[in-house]
Protein backbone atom coordinates (compact mmCIF):
# COMPACT_ATOMS: atom_id res chain seq x y z
CA UNK A 1 0.00 0.00 0.00
CA UNK A 2 1.15 3.47 -0.89
CA UNK A 3 2.91 5.15 2.03
CA UNK A 4 2.14 8.52 0.43
CA UNK A 5 -1.60 7.82 0.60
CA UNK A 6 -1.30 7.20 4.37
CA UNK A 7 0.79 10.37 4.80
CA UNK A 8 -1.79 12.43 2.89
CA UNK A 9 -4.60 11.03 5.03
CA UNK A 10 -2.69 11.82 8.22
CA UNK A 11 -2.21 15.37 7.06
CA UNK A 12 -5.82 15.82 5.98
CA UNK A 13 -7.17 14.51 9.27
CA UNK A 14 -4.45 16.15 11.40
CA UNK A 15 -3.96 12.66 12.79
CA UNK A 16 -1.07 10.86 14.39
CA UNK A 17 -0.66 7.08 14.20
CA UNK A 18 0.61 5.37 17.35
CA UNK A 19 1.61 1.71 17.16
CA UNK A 20 2.61 -0.79 19.80
CA UNK A 21 5.89 -2.70 19.40
CA UNK A 22 3.94 -5.93 18.70
CA UNK A 23 2.23 -4.57 15.60
CA UNK A 24 2.97 -6.00 12.17
CA UNK A 25 6.17 -4.59 10.61
CA UNK A 26 4.26 -2.80 7.82
CA UNK A 27 2.08 -1.03 10.41
CA UNK A 28 5.10 -0.01 12.51
CA UNK A 29 6.65 1.51 9.39
CA UNK A 30 3.77 3.95 8.79
CA UNK A 31 3.38 4.90 12.46
CA UNK A 32 4.55 8.25 13.81
CA UNK A 33 5.55 6.60 17.07
CA UNK A 34 6.12 2.95 17.95
CA UNK A 35 6.61 2.12 21.59
CA UNK A 36 5.68 0.31 24.77
CA UNK A 37 2.55 1.08 26.79
CA UNK A 38 4.25 3.74 28.90
CA UNK A 39 5.73 5.61 25.93
CA UNK A 40 2.44 5.46 24.05
CA UNK A 41 0.47 6.75 27.08
CA UNK A 42 2.91 9.62 27.52
CA UNK A 43 2.67 10.50 23.83
CA UNK A 44 -1.13 10.39 23.90
CA UNK A 45 -1.12 12.90 26.77
CA UNK A 46 1.25 15.31 25.04
CA UNK A 47 0.52 15.13 21.30
CA UNK A 48 -0.57 18.19 19.38
CA UNK A 49 -3.09 16.79 16.87
CA UNK A 50 -6.83 16.43 16.29
CA UNK A 51 -6.99 12.67 16.03
CA UNK A 52 -5.01 9.69 17.28
CA UNK A 53 -5.23 6.43 15.35
CA UNK A 54 -4.15 3.64 17.64
CA UNK A 55 -2.70 0.45 16.17
CA UNK A 56 -2.82 -1.79 19.21
CA UNK A 57 -5.53 -3.14 21.49
CA UNK A 58 -8.49 -1.45 23.15
CA UNK A 59 -7.02 -0.62 26.58
CA UNK A 60 -4.27 1.38 24.85
CA UNK A 61 -6.75 3.47 22.86
CA UNK A 62 -8.94 3.87 25.95
CA UNK A 63 -5.95 5.20 27.88
CA UNK A 64 -5.35 7.74 25.10
CA UNK A 65 -9.04 8.72 25.09
CA UNK A 66 -9.05 9.11 28.88
CA UNK A 67 -5.94 11.31 28.80
CA UNK A 68 -7.01 13.38 25.78
CA UNK A 69 -10.81 13.61 25.78
CA UNK A 70 -10.66 16.60 23.41
CA UNK A 71 -9.05 14.46 20.70
CA UNK A 72 -10.75 11.91 18.52
CA UNK A 73 -9.17 8.57 19.40
CA UNK A 74 -9.67 5.76 16.91
CA UNK A 75 -8.74 2.09 17.30
CA UNK A 76 -7.72 0.43 14.02
CA UNK A 77 -9.91 -2.62 14.73
CA UNK A 78 -13.00 -2.37 16.95
CA UNK A 79 -12.65 -5.79 18.56
CA UNK A 80 -8.88 -5.82 19.15
CA UNK A 81 -8.70 -6.43 22.87
CA UNK A 82 -6.34 -7.80 25.53
CA UNK A 83 -7.83 -11.00 27.00
CA UNK A 84 -5.89 -10.45 30.24
CA UNK A 85 -7.60 -7.10 30.76
CA UNK A 86 -10.92 -8.92 31.05
CA UNK A 87 -9.67 -11.40 33.66
CA UNK A 88 -10.78 -9.08 36.44
CA UNK A 89 -14.08 -7.20 36.68
CA UNK A 90 -14.58 -3.96 38.59
CA UNK A 91 -17.03 -5.71 40.94
CA UNK A 92 -14.42 -8.36 41.82
CA UNK A 93 -11.87 -5.66 42.53
CA UNK A 94 -14.41 -3.88 44.77
CA UNK A 95 -14.91 -7.15 46.66
CA UNK A 96 -11.12 -7.59 47.10
CA UNK A 97 -10.85 -4.00 48.36
CA UNK A 98 -13.44 -4.82 51.05
CA UNK A 99 -11.30 -7.79 52.16
CA UNK A 100 -8.18 -5.58 52.41
CA UNK A 101 -9.48 -2.15 53.45
CA UNK A 102 -6.05 -0.73 54.23
CA UNK A 103 -4.43 -1.84 50.98
CA UNK A 104 -3.46 0.44 48.10
CA UNK A 105 -4.64 -0.63 44.64
CA UNK A 106 -2.32 -0.78 41.64
CA UNK A 107 -3.67 -1.88 38.29
CA UNK A 108 -1.61 -2.84 35.30
CA UNK A 109 -2.52 -0.58 32.39
CA UNK A 110 -3.67 -3.78 30.58
CA UNK A 111 -7.05 -3.42 32.29
CA UNK A 112 -10.50 -2.06 31.54
CA UNK A 113 -11.39 1.58 32.23
CA UNK A 114 -13.81 0.37 34.96
CA UNK A 115 -10.95 -1.39 36.77
CA UNK A 116 -8.69 1.65 36.42
CA UNK A 117 -11.48 3.76 37.92
CA UNK A 118 -11.42 1.50 41.02
CA UNK A 119 -7.63 1.76 41.37
CA UNK A 120 -5.36 4.27 43.09
CA UNK A 121 -2.71 4.19 40.40
CA UNK A 122 -1.81 2.40 37.17
CA UNK A 123 1.50 0.91 36.17
CA UNK A 124 2.99 -0.59 33.03
CA UNK A 125 5.54 -3.34 32.58
CA UNK A 126 8.22 -0.63 32.62
CA UNK A 127 7.47 0.84 36.04
CA UNK A 128 5.57 -1.72 38.18
CA UNK A 129 8.17 -1.84 40.96
CA UNK A 130 8.62 1.94 41.00
CA UNK A 131 4.85 2.51 41.19
CA UNK A 132 4.36 0.01 44.02
CA UNK A 133 7.29 1.49 45.97
CA UNK A 134 5.79 4.97 45.55
CA UNK A 135 2.66 3.93 47.51
CA UNK A 136 2.30 4.87 51.16
CA UNK A 137 0.48 1.61 52.03
CA UNK A 138 2.46 -1.50 53.01
CA UNK A 139 -0.11 -3.81 51.49
CA UNK A 140 -0.89 -3.55 47.76
CA UNK A 141 -3.62 -5.19 45.70
CA UNK A 142 -2.05 -5.71 42.27
CA UNK A 143 -4.31 -6.67 39.33
CA UNK A 144 -4.82 -8.31 36.90
CA UNK A 145 -1.50 -9.97 35.94
CA UNK A 146 -0.39 -12.62 38.43
CA UNK A 147 3.05 -12.91 36.81
CA UNK A 148 3.78 -9.19 36.88
CA UNK A 149 2.47 -9.16 40.46
CA UNK A 150 4.90 -11.96 41.39
CA UNK A 151 7.77 -10.11 39.70
CA UNK A 152 6.96 -6.91 41.60
CA UNK A 153 6.57 -8.85 44.87
CA UNK A 154 10.16 -10.06 44.53
CA UNK A 155 11.44 -6.49 44.18
CA UNK A 156 9.58 -4.74 46.96
CA UNK A 157 9.25 -5.09 50.72
CA UNK A 158 5.50 -4.47 50.46
CA UNK A 159 2.96 -7.27 50.71
CA UNK A 160 1.40 -7.91 47.30
CA UNK A 161 -2.14 -9.29 46.99
CA UNK A 162 -2.06 -10.54 43.36
CA UNK A 163 -4.80 -10.84 40.78
CA UNK A 164 -5.15 -14.09 38.88
CA UNK A 165 -4.97 -12.87 35.29
CA UNK A 166 -2.27 -13.78 32.80
CA UNK A 167 -1.23 -13.19 29.22
CA UNK A 168 -1.54 -16.35 27.15
CA UNK A 169 1.31 -15.23 24.85
CA UNK A 170 3.79 -14.91 27.75
CA UNK A 171 2.47 -17.49 30.20
CA UNK A 172 3.20 -20.26 27.67
CA UNK A 173 7.00 -19.87 27.95
CA UNK A 174 8.58 -22.69 29.93
CA UNK A 175 11.90 -23.44 31.60
CA UNK A 176 12.55 -26.12 28.95
CA UNK A 177 12.09 -23.57 26.17
CA UNK A 178 14.70 -21.28 27.76
CA UNK A 179 17.12 -24.18 28.29
CA UNK A 180 16.71 -25.35 24.68
CA UNK A 181 17.15 -21.83 23.28
CA UNK A 182 20.28 -21.34 25.41
CA UNK A 183 21.71 -24.67 24.24
CA UNK A 184 21.12 -23.60 20.61
CA UNK A 185 22.50 -20.08 21.10
CA UNK A 186 25.04 -20.38 23.94
CA UNK A 187 26.35 -16.82 23.52
CA UNK A 188 22.93 -15.19 23.52
CA UNK A 189 21.66 -12.92 26.28
CA UNK A 190 18.12 -13.81 27.40
CA UNK A 191 15.67 -10.91 27.64
CA UNK A 192 12.15 -11.63 28.89
CA UNK A 193 9.01 -9.62 29.60
CA UNK A 194 7.73 -9.44 33.21
CA UNK A 195 4.46 -11.09 32.08
CA UNK A 196 6.44 -14.37 31.97
CA UNK A 197 6.26 -16.92 34.77
CA UNK A 198 8.68 -16.57 37.68
CA UNK A 199 10.63 -19.74 36.80
CA UNK A 200 11.24 -18.38 33.27
CA UNK A 201 12.26 -14.98 34.64
CA UNK A 202 14.73 -16.79 36.92
CA UNK A 203 16.65 -18.02 33.88
CA UNK A 204 16.76 -14.63 32.12
CA UNK A 205 19.61 -12.13 32.05
CA UNK A 206 17.24 -9.15 32.10
CA UNK A 207 13.52 -8.50 32.54
CA UNK A 208 12.21 -5.57 30.50
CA UNK A 209 9.20 -3.90 28.97
CA UNK A 210 9.11 -4.17 25.19
CA UNK A 211 10.94 -0.86 24.65
CA UNK A 212 13.21 -1.75 27.57
CA UNK A 213 14.40 -4.69 25.46
CA UNK A 214 15.53 -2.26 22.75
CA UNK A 215 17.50 -0.22 25.29
CA UNK A 216 18.98 -3.33 26.91
CA UNK A 217 20.10 -4.84 23.58
CA UNK A 218 21.52 -1.53 22.40
CA UNK A 219 23.57 -1.03 25.56
CA UNK A 220 24.78 -4.62 25.71
CA UNK A 221 28.11 -5.73 24.21
CA UNK A 222 26.49 -9.03 23.27
CA UNK A 223 25.75 -9.75 19.62
CA UNK A 224 22.95 -12.30 20.12
CA UNK A 225 19.73 -12.24 22.11
CA UNK A 226 16.91 -14.64 22.92
CA UNK A 227 13.67 -12.67 23.12
CA UNK A 228 10.98 -13.86 25.53
CA UNK A 229 7.99 -11.86 24.43
CA UNK A 230 5.44 -11.60 21.62
CA UNK A 231 7.09 -12.25 18.24
CA UNK A 232 6.20 -8.80 16.84
CA UNK A 233 8.99 -7.44 19.03
CA UNK A 234 11.54 -9.00 16.71
CA UNK A 235 10.79 -6.36 14.08
CA UNK A 236 11.81 -3.20 15.99
CA UNK A 237 14.82 -5.01 17.49
CA UNK A 238 16.10 -6.19 14.09
CA UNK A 239 15.28 -2.89 12.37
CA UNK A 240 17.11 -0.83 15.00
CA UNK A 241 20.08 -3.18 15.37
CA UNK A 242 20.76 -4.84 12.00
CA UNK A 243 24.21 -5.95 13.15
CA UNK A 244 22.86 -8.03 16.07
CA UNK A 245 20.95 -11.31 16.04
CA UNK A 246 17.59 -11.82 17.73
CA UNK A 247 16.01 -15.25 18.26
CA UNK A 248 12.41 -15.66 19.47
CA UNK A 249 12.07 -17.80 22.60
CA UNK A 250 9.04 -19.28 20.83
CA UNK A 251 7.57 -18.51 17.42
CA UNK A 252 4.18 -19.43 18.90
CA UNK A 253 4.12 -16.41 21.20
CA UNK A 254 1.59 -14.52 19.11
CA UNK A 255 -0.96 -12.04 20.42
CA UNK A 256 -3.80 -12.56 17.96
CA UNK A 257 -5.52 -9.31 18.86
CA UNK A 258 -2.38 -7.30 18.15
CA UNK A 259 -2.26 -9.00 14.76
CA UNK A 260 -5.81 -7.97 13.76
CA UNK A 261 -4.44 -4.69 12.41
CA UNK A 262 -2.90 -4.46 8.96
CA UNK A 263 -2.11 -1.54 6.67
CA UNK A 264 -5.58 -1.53 5.10
CA UNK A 265 -7.11 -1.17 8.60
CA UNK A 266 -4.81 1.76 9.36
CA UNK A 267 -5.83 3.41 6.10
CA UNK A 268 -9.52 2.79 6.73
CA UNK A 269 -9.29 4.18 10.26
CA UNK A 270 -7.57 7.29 8.92
CA UNK A 271 -10.18 7.74 6.21
CA UNK A 272 -13.25 7.27 8.39
CA UNK A 273 -11.91 8.20 11.84
CA UNK A 274 -13.89 5.18 13.03
CA UNK A 275 -14.23 3.14 15.22
CA UNK A 276 -13.99 5.97 17.72
CA UNK A 277 -13.09 5.05 21.30
CA UNK A 278 -14.92 7.03 23.96
CA UNK A 279 -14.76 6.32 27.68
CA UNK A 280 -17.85 7.72 29.38
CA UNK A 281 -17.57 10.08 32.31
CA UNK A 282 -17.48 9.60 35.31
CA UNK A 283 -15.48 6.35 34.72
CA UNK A 284 -13.01 8.34 32.61
CA UNK A 285 -12.46 11.00 35.26
CA UNK A 286 -11.71 8.39 37.95
CA UNK A 287 -9.48 6.35 35.63
CA UNK A 288 -7.67 9.56 34.59
CA UNK A 289 -6.56 10.10 38.19
CA UNK A 290 -4.99 6.62 38.32
CA UNK A 291 -3.22 7.03 34.96
CA UNK A 292 -2.07 10.58 35.64
CA UNK A 293 -0.61 9.55 39.02
CA UNK A 294 1.54 7.03 37.19
CA UNK A 295 2.65 9.58 34.59
CA UNK A 296 3.53 12.02 37.37
CA UNK A 297 6.02 9.59 38.95
P1 LIG B 1 4.77 -3.22 27.11
O2 LIG B 1 4.18 -2.10 27.88
O3 LIG B 1 6.02 -3.78 27.69
O4 LIG B 1 4.95 -2.83 25.68
O5 LIG B 1 3.76 -4.46 27.16
C6 LIG B 1 2.46 -4.40 26.67
C7 LIG B 1 1.86 -5.70 26.53
O8 LIG B 1 0.72 -5.85 26.18
C9 LIG B 1 2.68 -6.86 26.86
O10 LIG B 1 2.06 -8.01 26.55
FE1 LIG C 1 -2.68 -8.62 26.25
FE2 LIG C 1 -0.76 -10.44 26.11
FE3 LIG C 1 -1.70 -9.37 23.89
FE4 LIG C 1 -0.19 -7.93 25.59
S5 LIG C 1 0.44 -9.72 24.39
S6 LIG C 1 -2.09 -7.27 24.61
S7 LIG C 1 -0.88 -8.75 27.56
S8 LIG C 1 -2.84 -10.68 25.34
Q: What whole-number distance in Å separates Cα of residue 73 and Cα of residue 2?
A: 23
Q: What whole-number distance in Å separates Cα of residue 17 and Cα of residue 19?
A: 7
Range of the domain at 20: 3-81+258-272
Q: What whole-number distance in Å separates Cα of residue 166 and Cα of residue 4?
A: 40
Whether 147 lines ligand 1, by a CB cut-off of 6 Å, is no
Asked if residue 33 has pLDDT above 80, the reply is yes
Q: What whole-number distance in Å separates Cα of residue 151 and Cα of residue 126?
A: 12
Query: Is 25 part of any domain?
Result: yes
Q: What whole-number distance in Å separates Cα of residue 227 and Cα of residue 234?
A: 8
Of all ligands present, the nearest one to the C-alpha of 254 is 2
Round the average pLDDT of the chain to a whole number and report it. Answer: 96
CA–CA distances in Å: residue 213 to residues 35, 206, 286: 11, 8, 32
Picking from 239, 226, 273, the residue whose alpha carbon sits closest to that of residue 10 is 273
Picking from 52, 58, 17, the residue whose alpha carbon sits closest to that of residue 260 is 58
Query: Is 151 part of any domain?
Result: yes
Dihedral (CA of 122, 141, 196, 171) sign: negative
The predicted pLDDT at position 44 comes to 86
Query: Is 280 part of any domain?
Result: no
Asked if residue 42 has pLDDT above 90, the reply is no
CA–CA distances in Å: residue 44 to residues 38, 251, 269: 10, 31, 17
The DSSP H or E segment spanning 268 is helix 263-272
Query: Is 214 part of any domain?
Result: yes
Q: Are residues 49 and 97 in the same domain?
A: no
Rounded to the nearest whole angstrom, what is the distance from the C-alpha of residue 102 to the centroid of ligand 2?
30
Whether 230 lines ligand 2, by a CB cut-off of 6 Å, is yes
Asked if 141 and 105 count as a contact pair (C-beta separation under 8 A), the reply is yes
Q: 20-44: b or e for each residue (b if 16 or more CB lie within 10 Å)?
A: bbbbbeebbebbeebbbbbbbbebb
Whether 214 lines ligand 2, by a CB cut-off of 6 Å, is no
Query: Is 278 part of any domain?
Result: no
* Cα-to-chain-centroid distance, residue 121: 16
Write the residue with the smallest CA distance to atom 2 of ligand 2. 167
Pocket of ligand 2, candidates 255, 259, 260: which has the most ligand atoms within 8 Å of its Cβ, to mutate?
255
Last residue of a domain, one of 166, 199, 234: 166
Q: What whole-number distance in Å separates Cα of residue 209 and Cα of residue 108?
A: 13
Kindly report, residue by residue over 237-270, the tens digit of the pLDDT. Answer: 999 999 999 999 999 999 999 999 999 999 999 9
Kindly report, residue by residue over 137-177, the tens digit of the pLDDT. Answer: 999 999 999 999 999 999 999 999 999 999 999 999 999 99
256 CB-near residues (< 8 Å, 6+ apart): none
Kindly report, residue by residue over 54-85, the tens digit of the pLDDT. Answer: 999 999 999 999 999 999 999 999 999 999 99
Rounded to the nearest whole angstrom, what is the distance from the C-alpha of residue 234 to the centroid of ligand 1?
14
Query: Is 133 part of any domain?
Result: yes
Ligand 1 atom nearest to 37, measured from its CA: 2
Q: Are residues 73 and 113 in the same domain?
A: no
Query: Is 202 part of any domain?
Result: yes
Write the residue with the smallest CA distance to atom 3 of ligand 1. 209
pTM for the model = 0.96
**Dmax (CA) of the chain:** 56
Q: Are residues 174 and 243 in the same domain?
A: yes
The predicted pLDDT at position 120 comes to 98
CATH number for the domain harbouring residue 33: 3.40.50.10800
Asked if residue 1 has pLDDT above 80, the reply is no
Write the residue with the smallest CA distance to atom 6 of ligand 2. 82
Asked if residue 92 has pLDDT above 80, the reply is yes
Pocket of ligand 1, candidates 19, 23, 34, 36: which has the most ligand atoms within 8 Å of its Cβ, to mutate?
36
Last residue of a domain, one of 132, 166, 200: 166
Rounded to the nearest whole angstrom, what is the distance from the C-alpha of residue 35 to the centroid of ligand 2?
14
Q: Are residues 158 and 196 in the same domain?
A: no
Whether 63 lines ligand 1, by a CB cut-off of 6 Å, is no
- Band (38; pLDDT cuts 50, 70, 90): confident
Q: Are residues 119 and 149 in the same domain?
A: yes
Q: How many domains does the chain have?
A: 3
Picking from 31, 6, 7, 24, the residue whose alpha carbon sits closest to that of residue 262 is 24
Asked if 18 and 44 count as a contact pair (C-beta separation under 8 A), the reply is yes
Kindly report, residue by residue over 14-32, the tens digit of the pLDDT. Answer: 999 999 999 999 999 999 9
Ligand 2 atom nearest to 167, measured from its CA: 2
Beta strands in the chain (DSSP E): 15-20, 33-35, 51-55, 72-75, 104-108, 121-123, 139-143, 159-162, 189-192, 206-207, 224-228, 245-248
Q: What whole-number distance in Å separates Cα of residue 34 and Cα of residue 49?
A: 17
Asked if residue 2 has pLDDT above 80, the reply is no
Rounded to the nearest whole angstrom, what is the distance from the C-alpha of residue 187 to the centroid of ligand 2?
29
Amino acid sequence: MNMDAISRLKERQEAVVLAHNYQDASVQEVADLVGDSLELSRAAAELDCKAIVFAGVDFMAQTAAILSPEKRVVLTVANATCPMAHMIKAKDLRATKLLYPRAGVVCYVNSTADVKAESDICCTSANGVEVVNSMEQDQIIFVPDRNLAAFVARHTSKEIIPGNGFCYAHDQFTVDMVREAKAKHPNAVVLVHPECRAEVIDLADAVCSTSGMIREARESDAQEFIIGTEVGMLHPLRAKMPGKEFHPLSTNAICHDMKKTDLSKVRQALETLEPRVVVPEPVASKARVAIQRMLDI
